[in-house]
Amino acid sequence: MPRLAPILLFAGAVLLVAFATLAGPESRPSPSKEWNNEALFDTTSTRAELMEMGRAAVSLSHFTLAEIYYQEVLLRSPEDVEAMCELAALYHRTGRLEYARGLLLRAGSLVPHREDIPEARRRIEKELRVLLAHEVDSLMAASQFASALPRLSLLLSIDPDNGRYHAAKARCLAAVGESDAALSSVDLALAKDPREEYQRLRDEISAQHEERRIADLESSAKRLLASKEWMRDEAADVLQAILAQDPSNEWAREQFRALAGQPLVPPPVAPPPMLHQIFDAAREVLPGVARSLERHLTAIVILIAIVLMFRSPLSRALVKRAHDPSPLSGDLATIDVAEALRLVNASALTGVLVIRAPEGTARVYFDSGDPVHCEAFGRQGHDAISYLTKNVEEGTFAMKNGRIKTQRTIDQPLDLILAEGVTTTKERDAAARRNLARREQGRKKSRMAELLETKSDKS
Fold of domain 142-213: 1.25.40
Using CB atoms within 10 Å of the CB of residue 440, give its burial: 0 to 12 exposed, 13 to 18 middle, 19+ buried: middle
* Gap between the Cα atoms of 348 and 367, Å rounded: 8
Distance between the two ends of the chain, CA-based, in angstroms? Answer: 92
Q: What pLDDT is recorded for position 22?
A: 43
* Gap between the Cα atoms of 64 and 76, Å rounded: 19
E-strand stretches of 60-212: none
- Reference 417, options 434, 400, 440; nearest CA is 434
Contact 394, 358 (CB under 8 A): yes
* Gap between the Cα atoms of 425 and 232, Å rounded: 47
DSSP string, 275-334: HHHHHHHHHHH-HHHHHHHHHTHHHHHHHHHHHHHHHSHHHHHHHHHHHS--SSEEETTT
Q: What pLDDT is recorded for position 251?
A: 78
Length of the chain equals 459
- Per residue of the chain (459 residues), what is the pLDDT tens digit? 455 555 555 555 555 555 444 444 444 443 333 445 556 788 888 999 999 999 999 999 999 999 999 999 999 999 999 999 999 999 999 999 999 999 999 999 999 998 999 999 999 999 999 999 999 999 999 999 899 999 989 888 888 888 888 989 988 988 888 888 888 888 988 888 888 888 888 888 888 777 777 777 777 777 777 775 656 677 777 777 777 767 777 777 777 777 766 343 344 555 555 555 555 655 565 555 555 656 666 667 777 767 566 565 555 555 455 444 556 788 887 788 888 888 888 878 888 889 988 888 888 998 888 888 998 888 888 888 888 888 888 888 888 888 888 888 888 777 777 776 555 666 666 666 666 665 565 444 445 545 555 555 555
Q: In the Cβ-directed half-sphere of 337, how many Cα atoms lie within 13 Å? A: 24
The pTM for the full model equals: 0.43
Kindly report, as residue ranges, where domains of CATH 1.25.40.10 are found in the chain.
Answer: 4-126, 142-213
Tell me the residue type at 453. Answer: E
3-state class (DSSP) for residue 443: helix
**4-126 is a CATH 3.40.10.10 domain:** no
Beta-carbon contacts of residue 158 (< 8 Å; ≥ 6 apart): 101, 125, 128, 129, 132
- Reference 369, options 184, 237, 193, 169; nearest CA is 184
318-344 CB burial, b ≥16 within 10 A, e <16: eeeeeeebbbbbbbbebbebebbbbbb
- Alpha-helical segments (H) within 324-380: 337-346
